[in-house]
A = this chain, B = another copy of it.
Amino acid sequence: ERCYKIAVLPGDGIGSEIMAVTLDILQKLGQIYAINFTFSEALIGGVAIDQTGHPLPPATLELCRASDGILLGAVGGPQWDDLPSHLRPEQALLGLRSGLNLFANLRPAKVFPELVQASTLKPEVIAGVDLLVVRELTGGIYFGQPKGIFTSETGEQRGVNTMAYRASEIDRIGRVAFEAAQKRNKKLCSVDKANVLEVSQLWRQCINALVPEYPEVTLTHLYVDNAAMQLIRWPQQFDVMVTGNLFGDILSDEAAMLTGSIGMLPSASLGATGPGVFEPVHGTAPDIAGQDVANPLAQILSAAMLLRYGLSEAQAADALETAVAQVLRRGYRTGDIYTEGTQRVGCRGMGAQVAAA
């Protein structure tokens, strides 16, 4: 029996409901595949602010460091929106990323055949879309120095942030993307703004330098403005996209919304060594929290990514993803993806169906 210590950070809003359902499923899966999970829960986000004054308490980061993988729900909510920025729930995400050196963010945007009509795009444009955005997560303008609001000699305020990448940072995220492409459909599109930004020129140069090592992968480049258009014009053209932190933030959310069912989308944030963070793409949905109506599938699919990328338990990951696909085929839907003729279930109900499958 393999044993894994999993840090569990439900966070705010619907986080605890979708997490509870997911842990039950993992336990069940563990029994089948002879995997022993030890779950240890810790505070993060708004609840952590309320209870400790800090969105990412040191004890939480420590627990994460001592774990084999981290399952995260979601953080934030209106009641913490007016705090000074260093105390806001989002800081917990940035703190986890830099604290655990999670430089690679994997954001799949996959359209399930049963949910094609959930998209605002025409069915023939969105059907079959299955792309992966590989976003650099610990560099670029999110962390570059100098940054701040400064007062100039004339007394005028000036806001400054720095978008910077070292060659080695680009190289390592590039390798993650090439490797992902090699395991998928062997197409990689790198996104930058090399016609304007020097940092993008270095980006392009470093990505190009990897081509000889991955001869099976076809590499293309797009400017970020064009990429934002191509995702809408013809999303099926993409397999893997790789880009920096800021462009990845924008494009991965755009790609997610194309699918029309953001309650279905998981993500993984990985470092070179050490535990990764696995979390849904959606937010805390405070308006429906506590009502047992939230869609737990993004959280469940995040657990599948934990199994696959964090614990190398590919068999169990496959089983879990297959179960989700089956439940959709059988017609079970939470409110966010409900359409006439399907079977409406709540958060726990959906979890039970996945567990059964």
Q: Which residues of A contact B (CB under 8 A)?
A: 85, 88, 90, 94, 120-122, 125, 141-142, 144, 147-149, 152, 156-168, 193-203, 224-226, 228-229, 232-234, 246, 249-254, 256-258, 262
Contacts and interface: CB of A to CB of B under 8 A. Distances in A.
23 contacts: A90-B196, A120-B125, A120-B232, A121-B122, A142-B196, A144-B160, A149-B198, A158-B166, A158-B167, A159-B198, A160-B163, A161-B162, A224-B249, A225-B249, A225-B250, A225-B252, A226-B253, A228-B250, A228-B253, A228-B254, A229-B257, A232-B257, A254-B254
A198 to B, nearest CB: 5
Contacts of A234: 120
A149 B203 CA distance: 10
A224 B254 CA distance: 10
A258 B246 contact: no
Contacts of A88: 195
A202 B224 CA distance: 24
Contacts of A120: 121-122, 125, 232-234
Contact of A233 (B125, B193, B246, B257): B257
A141 B122 contact: no
A199 B161 contact: yes
A339 B324 CA distance: 40
B160 A164 contact: yes
Contacts of A158: 164-167, 202
A258 to B, nearest CB: 6
